[in-house]
Structure 1
Amino acid sequence: MIYHVLIEPFVDYGFMRRALVACLALSLSTAPLGIFLLLRRMSLVGDALSHAILPGVAVGYLLAGMSLVAMGIGGFVAGVLVALISGLVSAHTKLKEDASFAGFYLGSLALGVTLISLRGSSVDLLHLLFGSILAIDSPATVFVGIIASVTLLLLALLYRGFVMETFDRTFLRVNSRLTPHLLHGVFLALLVLNLVAGFQILGTLMSVGLMMLPAVSARCWAKTLPGTMAIAVLCGLFCAWLGLAWSFYAALPAGPAIVLTASGAFFVSILFGSRSGLAWSLYRGGLLISKGVK
């Protein structure tokens, strides 16, 4: 039964194998980034940047059609520009970084949709907004794998710096050659790079789902940073596999199915996680109320 449901589709169909490999690679690299976003209280910044890459993707589409390389380069440039401009605005005005991101990403989203509409059809627009994971080809899978590998390598090399920059910037300034601004810039560049990889799979609107939902779920269970990252990665891998499997049998869009599966894991973690335990809290509250009534 387990073989038939969870393994057989990936053995019999090449497009399912490519989709699974791309999702697994993306889960390995995006889950640790999601943890750092969560710890920095920048969870919605990832969502903002996933929208901000759309104008660059649209420009690449207008110039080269459905070329993954052109759209990827365009999306990366657009995302980095929005991140840099938002940082400058927050540094020289009274606006905080999340407010400046919100202002720029809304305009970027509208501009991207407008540019795509100039030449493309509604099918092209839906492809870019929501992805087409089951149509991913071998070059796109290699592209995602390279980005995941580069991300993991840089995270391993700069792990201590990222941790210090997240928790204590003053300590980082005193005890490291790396400045907080440099590390923050590298982190945002990695974030944009992974969102560019994710738009081909889940689209620009939902690529952040595989980044943040496993990370939030892991925070409900683990107390240490390495443990949280490990659980987030495993959760992302499991949700990608399960989401693809049930979308295959239920004839549902694969991208939304993966994000819905991750959302289900999030709700289960909130209810039963060792660090959240909402179900136990509600149960104890009900007992206290019942005893009070008696």
Structure 2
Amino acid sequence: MSTYDLLIAPFADYGFMRRALVACLCLALGSGPIGVFLMLRRMSLMGDAMSHAVLPGAAIGYLVAGSLSLTAMGIGGLVAGLSVALLSGLVSRVTVLQEDASFASFYLTSLALGVLIVSLRGSNVDLLHVLFGTILAIDGPALVLIGSITSVTLVTLAIVYRPLVAECFDPGFLRTVGGRGPVYHALFLLLVVLNMVASFQALGTLMAVGLMMLPAAIAQLWARSLTAMMALAAAAAAVSGYVGLIASYHLELASGPTIIMTAAVIYGFSILFAPSGLARRLFPRPHLAG
């Protein structure tokens, strides 16, 4: 098998492979930087909660559309995700519950409700598509939605980058100078929900957070500056998407899980060989004498 047949032919010959690759690249550009901010703010598990929170809305969109319409499911997921984010924040402010406990409660409820809604009308195959994604079934409107979310994410991050970094590392300072920290926090949660909806289109509710957090973890192992982490996270997600699609095509595997497993392999390699990885700790370089 030639290099062309191995690495290029699947995308040159099949439109659905090209659309899947474009979707992966869009997700990498948007979700990678968002994942870095989630990790630095120690909100990684909140990302997982939000990926499950979109399920009821996506299920309702599925029932309304009467078929597995990714656009209808995306709009429904966006409404459901924003509702869970707002309700969780409200509950944490009017009760003694912390925000993480509130998110956990709502996402468990959302996951169960979403599965029940799909089960009312759909088959087991439909439920598997909702939970694990249909990246090879990405159509034109869904691709436009994913690309639009990526564009909004990048433009918003460029506009609010400095106050968002300040709110991430020193929220007390931002409050002192009147920086409207809660506004930027709410805006960041909106970006998280938007990117979860985009990821849901391709990877399903159970793995939507995978292309967000694994590349962020990889970037944190290799890079030291925030800008380098964001760039490396986007690159790792893009490579995972491309290699995962190639592997799933040739090995006849499910594309979504293969993409996430590719990112997991890169993460395992990084744990061993990154500058702060296990290999450096187990076999430290000798210090120069003199």
Alignment TM-score, normalising by the size of structure 1: 0.92
Give the AA of the match of 2:260.
Answer: V
Q: Which residue of 2 aligns with 1:237?
A: 238
Distance across 2 between alignment mates of 1:14 and 1:188: 34
The answer as to whether partners of 2:56 and 2:77 remain within 8 angstroms in 1 is yes
Distance across 1 between alignment mates of 2:209 and 2:71: 20
Give the AA of the match of 2:143.
Answer: T
Answering whether residue 281 of structure 2 is matched by residue 277 of structure 1, we say no
Distance across 2 between alignment mates of 1:92 and 1:195: 27
Answering whether residue 85 of structure 2 is matched by residue 97 of structure 1, we say no
| Structure 1 residue 88: Cα displacement | 1.9
| Structure 1 residue 75: Cα displacement | 0.9
Q: Which residue of 1 aligns with 2:172?
A: 170
Give the AA of the match of 2:147.
Answer: G
The answer as to whether partners of 1:19 and 1:136 remain within 8 angstroms in 2 is yes
Q: Which residue of 1 aligns with 2:254?
A: 253
Q: Which residue of 1 aligns with 2:23?
A: 22
1:154 to 156, 172, 190: 156
Distance across 1 between alignment mates of 2:15 and 2:73: 25
Answering whether residue 138 of structure 2 is matched by residue 133 of structure 1, we say no
Distance across 1 between alignment mates of 2:149 and 2:228: 23
Distance across 2 between alignment mates of 1:7 and 1:161: 42
Q: Secondary structure at the match of 1:115?
A: helix
Give the AA of the match of 1:32.
Answer: P
Q: Which residue of 2 aligns with 1:195?
A: 196
Deviations 1:237-265 (A, max 9, x none): 11110000011000000000000000011
Give the AA of the match of 1:87.
Answer: G
Distance across 2 between alignment mates of 1:271 and 1:90: 39
Give the AA of the match of 1:51.
Answer: H
The answer as to whether partners of 1:271 and 1:277 remain within 8 angstroms in 2 is yes
Q: How does 1:2-17 map to 2 (within 5 A)?
A: 2-17=3-18
The percent of aligned pairs where both chains have the same amino acid is 60
The answer as to whether partners of 2:71 and 2:141 remain within 8 angstroms in 1 is no
Q: Secondary structure at the match of 2:224?
A: coil
Distance across 2 between alignment mates of 1:117 and 1:92: 34
The number of residues matched between the two structures is 282
Distance across 1 between alignment mates of 2:33 and 2:153: 10
Alignment TM-score, normalising by the size of structure 2: 0.93
The answer as to whether partners of 2:54 and 2:81 remain within 8 angstroms in 1 is yes
Give the AA of the match of 2:90.
Answer: L
Deviations 1:199-247 (A, max 9, x none): 1100011011000000000000101000111111111111110000011
Q: Which residue of 1 aligns with 2:54?
A: 53
Q: Which residue of 1 aligns with 2:288?
A: none
Q: Provide structure 2 residue ranges, at least 5 long, that are not aligned to the other structure.
A: 285-290
The answer as to whether partners of 1:6 and 1:241 remain within 8 angstroms in 2 is no
Q: Provide structure 1 residue ranges, at least 5 long, that are not aligned to the other structure.
A: 285-294
Deviations 1:172-205 (A, max 9, x none): 22335x5111111111111111111111100011
Distance across 1 between alignment mates of 2:157 and 2:134: 28
Give the AA of the match of 1:19.
Answer: A
Distance across 2 between alignment mates of 1:283 and 1:100: 44
Q: Which residue of 2 aligns with 1:289?
A: none
Segment of structure 1 superposing worse, 62-71 or 110-119:
62-71
The answer as to whether partners of 1:53 and 1:108 remain within 8 angstroms in 2 is yes
Q: Secondary structure at the match of 2:222?
A: coil
| Structure 1 residue 283: Cα displacement | 4.1
Q: Which residue of 2 aligns with 1:227?
A: 228
- The RMSD of aligned alpha carbons is 1.3
The answer as to whether partners of 2:70 and 2:138 remain within 8 angstroms in 1 is no
Distance across 2 between alignment mates of 1:247 and 1:118: 31
The answer as to whether partners of 1:90 and 1:100 remain within 8 angstroms in 2 is yes
Q: Which residue of 2 aligns with 1:78?
A: 80
